Amino acid sequence: MPQITDEEIKPNEEIKPHVVYTTGETEKILKISNSTLKRLLKKGLLRANKVGKQYRILGLEILKLVSPAVEQKAVTAYLDLKHKVIDKTKEW
């Protein structure tokens, strides 16, 4: 799979599904901080493969993250959690 360098990432560049991105490149593409990227990885909202001590993210995974279907999944998960919390706190 082709890998691109940080210098090759230009603003508003199309995300290529079969390109492997580093975490730094992904942060630039999504315009997010390192801590936000770590949170996305930890929660499983963005899938990545660990190579040594570094993560590599397939462009397809980035595209899935920014798609409307993923947003709907996140809303559904949030609402499910919200209802569980409300039901649990009613017992108090």
Which residues have a Cβ under 8 Å from the Cβ of 32 and sit 6 or more positions away? 40
49 lies in which domain range? 6-66
In a domain, 23, yes or no: yes
- pLDDT tens, the chain, 92 aa long: 566 555 566 656 788 889 999 999 999 999 999 999 999 999 888 999 999 999 999 998 998 888 877 677 777 888 888 999 999 898 77
Nearest to 22 by CA among 41, 12, 14: 41
In a domain, 72, yes or no: no
Which two structure tokens, joined as six digits, stand for 72? 């709907």
Determine the pLDDT at residue 69.
Answer: 76
Indicate which CATH number applies to the domain containing 32.
1.10.10
Determine the pLDDT at residue 11.
Answer: 59
Determine the pLDDT at residue 65.
Answer: 87
In a domain, 46, yes or no: yes
In a domain, 59, yes or no: yes
**pTM of the predicted model over 0.75:** no
Instruction: Tally the domains of the chain.
Output: 1
In a domain, 79, yes or no: no
